Amino acid sequence: MKLRFEALVAVLSVFVCLSSLTAQEAGVGPWVKINERDGIVAYARDNPRVAPLKEGRVVGVIEASAESVENAMRDWDAYKKVLFMSKVTKPADNYPGCKPGPDTYCAYLLQGAPWPVQDRDGYGTLDFYLHKPTNEILVKVTVRENSMPLTKGVTRIPFCDMVWLIKPIDATHCQVTYQNMLKGGGVADKMPASVMNYVMKNFGILTVQNIRKLMEDDKYKHSKGYITKTPWPEELRHYAEDITPEAQAMLKKK
């Protein structure tokens, strides 16, 4: 029973995903540290777009170059290894409103879930940006309601925003920030606050641990140079500038 409960709360964490807003926006609270494990720090803050849930963030150092992590995030199979109980991650170039390109992926995600929660799926875009002065990478994932046919027995994710920020530290280390918000729909939106708090404290850390494991694979270890060419828009630079003291300290350790 304990194993089933842990599996349930872990998968629900995928649905605690929301769009990251600037701290100056009305009602958005400061980041509060909620957990730390294995050198990875988890945070949460109030955000009116997902209340009563919270916006989440987790930060950790990866023993791999920023180029290697960026290259791995271009691989559809990598997401199945990083996201808990991911069943399908694949291109969806027929997704309305998404125009695929070298730095824009149109995506379909099918996420497994233990009973009584149905599996979840969604269509969205992955936009890759490079900030040349710092060699930082931003990957912005946006999932919205759409006109794509529903899948029988699967709940459609109505809203999810995820952000991945990759900051170089040196030739063999980088800092990864995973910032997220979501409305999962169905049973997932009605889970008790205690369950969702458990998710917030643990799922993000698990995600960064999975990235560390992924980067041990020789397939991703030896990437040379960035694939991303699209400049990081100035209006999105707040993701890199909104940094906590613990995250700042990580950048100075190596």
Residue 191 has what pLDDT?
Answer: 62
Residue 12 has what pLDDT?
Answer: 40
DSSP string, 107-173: EEEEE---TTSPEEEEEEEEEEEEETTTTEEEEEEEEE--SSPPPTTEEEP-EEEEEEEEEEEETTE
Alpha-carbon distance 125 to 93, whole Å? 10
Residue 7 has what pLDDT?
Answer: 44
| Secondary structure (3-state) at 237 | coil
Q: Domain extents for the chain?
A: 2-253
Q: Which residues of the chain have pLDDT under 50?
A: 1-24
Query: Do the Cβ atoms of 211 and 62 come closer than 8 Å?
Result: yes
Residue 52 has what pLDDT?
Answer: 74
Q: In this structure, what token pair is assigned to residue 183?
A: 């409305």
Yes or no: domain 2-253 corresponds to CATH 3.30.530.20: yes
Alpha-carbon distance 90 to 88, whole Å? 6
Identity of residue 150: L
Residue 83 has what pLDDT?
Answer: 82
| Residue 94: exposure state from Cβ atoms within 10 A (0-12, 13-18, ≥19) | exposed
- Structure pTM? 0.84
pLDDT in tens, 92-104: 998 888 999 999 9
